[in-house]
Amino acid sequence: MVSATPLRETSPTETQTPPAIGRALLLLMAIAVAATAANLYYNQPLLAEMAASLGLSQGTIGLIPSATQFGYAAAILLISPLGDTMDRRVLIRNLSITLSLASLGVFLAPSFWPLLVASFVVGLGANITQQLIPLAASLSTPETRGKVIGTLMTGLTIGILLSRTLSGTIGEYWGWRSVFLVAAIIAVVIGVLLHRHLPSQKASVSMAYPQLISSMFTLVKRHALLRESALTGALWFAAFNAMWATLAIHVTDAPFSYSVQQAGLFGIIGLAGIFGAKAAGRLVNRVGAGRLITLALLMVVASFVVLALWGDSLAGLIVGIILLDLGVFGAQIPNQVRVFSIDPKAQSRMNAVYMLGYYLGAAAGSAIGVKVMSLYGWEGLSIFGLALAAAALLHHGIKQRRDPAVTSKA
């Protein structure tokens, strides 16, 4: 059984040292992050089957993964900041209920519009992930924060990538709707475990909701590092999601003509991102966040060069996917660690601003990527991803050169 000691309220004269986060609790949180994040990507390998089932065009069905990403972005803006003003354990319980009901809504959706709405609410409920990551950061010390965040991001990587394999396999044998019934059951189980074992935590600040939301804009204005991290992350995550949202369409068509299950298996190749996340978690305090991000973005740029030139061969796809996932998740850890270092009392709001940029980028990347794919094919999609990755590298490089002491902060 996982045990956790609730946080103790400290007096103003005490040194507020974060309590140690136990291995069992950290493992549970990593599994929960994986299971929750998976909901954002279950629909991607199923798009062709969903379109055929509901009589929708390729361009229209591309709105479904975008709706989930936009729902996630809306939750980051409107729900994530609440973690600074209320007990995250209670908030996570309510989000678990929302996620399970929304997944049932997708399972039962009779047509496009109910499916679109339910997919959006799935994104709202998946905000559990963005409550767990700041909670873990608050339970860790500056010395252990990189490893703790790296562990949770390893869970995130597994959830994102295996979600496609899981949904593709289930969809192949029992149809796309059954994927979301399974997702609803998983959400219930994870919600119960988290409510039982997470520590209660007192609010770090006290303010009204409108003030809480407006304070996020103040944080953006005040902290150049937050702005740089959010924009750079948005660009590379847009490129990442553009590729993954269209990969199933690409490989189920000629010259591959793979099945839905085979398309989902590409998620296993993407597990290379785990190595990027774990390595970045170990190295961020020694190498510096800025340098790690630069190296990782070079890998992302290289991945789209490979996908553009050799994306019609299996070997080219495998190499391109490995480079992409190593680079994206290798950059994510140092980028997030330096954001959490800015203001410990505003970690939920800092994370909300930061991740809002990410998932607005993800939603736009998915929607535009599907459209680009339908108009210009895989080569056009690869050039689109390359442009986004190059823009991220250029922006980060300019900021790094102007103020390396700030952008390298970890």
**Res. 242: pLDDT tops 50:** yes
Q: How confident is the model at residue 14 (pLDDT cuts 50, 70, 90)?
A: very low
Q: Which residue has the higher pLDDT, 322 or 59?
A: 322
Question: What is the residue-averaged pLDDT of the chain?
Answer: 86
Domains defined for the chain, CATH in brackets: 23-407 (1.20.1250.20)
What would the pLDDT profile of 167-180 be if each residue is shown by its tens digit? 988 998 999 999 99
Q: What is the pTM of this model?
A: 0.72
Alpha helices in 252-313 (DSSP H): 260-264, 266-269, 272-287, 289-310
Q: Side-chain half-sphere of 83: how many Cα atoms within 13 Å?
A: 33
The predicted pLDDT at position 362 comes to 84
Q: How many CB atoms lie within 10 A of CB 41?
A: 25
Comparing CA positions, the residue from 394, 219, 226, 377 lying closest to residue 312 is: 377
Q: How far is CA 29 from CA 86, 256, 260, in A?
A: 19, 38, 30
Q: Assign residue 51 a region (left: φ > 0; alpha: ψ between -120 and 50; beta: otherwise).
A: alpha
**Res. 382: pLDDT tops 80:** yes
Q: How confident is the model at residue 5 (pLDDT cuts 50, 70, 90)?
A: very low
The predicted pLDDT at position 107 comes to 96
What would the pLDDT profile of 337-380 be if each residue is shown by its tens digit? 888 888 877 878 888 888 888 878 988 898 899 889 999 999 99
The predicted pLDDT at position 404 comes to 54
The predicted pLDDT at position 240 comes to 93
Query: Helix, strand, coil: what percent of the chain each, to 5?
Result: 80, 0, 20
The predicted pLDDT at position 122 comes to 97
What would the pLDDT profile of 111-127 be if each residue is shown by its tens digit? 999 999 999 999 999 99
Sign of CA dihedral 206, 131, 220, 400: positive
Sign of CA dihedral 332, 334, 35, 327: positive
